[in-house]
Amino acid sequence: MTPKQADSLQGTLDLLVLKTLEQGPMHGWGITLHIERVSDALLRVEEGSLYPALHRMEREGWIRAEWGVSENNRKARFYRLTARGRKQLTAARESWERVTGAVALVLNFDSRAN
């Protein structure tokens, strides 16, 4: 995988996490379950990808974490979207829509029609 491909995949994970946190504060496992549930189990985020991404997004100021108690009465870090994170979500979503729109143009191109 090239560095550019890795950046694109990382950007996709960021977009999914930020969009998930737009719903409200969640702990890591909750984020994973939400993405899997909403995507009809087509997308699965592994711990090894999620937690480094959460820590990076926290360093960027896109999310904030605080300790709380989960629904099963265990101590967990809950992540919340910041104002800066909302701006990043908007930018990432616009970028995603441009890229997927361009891919759709290529996939739907019919050289026989031109």
pLDDT per position as a tens digit, 59-94: 999 999 999 998 899 999 999 999 999 999 999 999
Q: Is residue 36 part of a domain?
A: yes
pLDDT per position as a tens digit, 99-110: 999 999 999 998
Q: In terms of Cα–Cα distance, which of 86, 80, 82 is closest to 25?
A: 80
Q: Is residue 114 part of a domain?
A: no
Which CATH number covers residue 56?
Answer: 1.10.10.10
Cα(75)–Cα(39) distance, rounded to whole angstroms? 27
Q: How many domains does the chain have?
A: 1
Question: Which residues form the domain of 98?
Answer: 3-109
Bridge pairing between strands 75-81 and 26-27: antiparallel
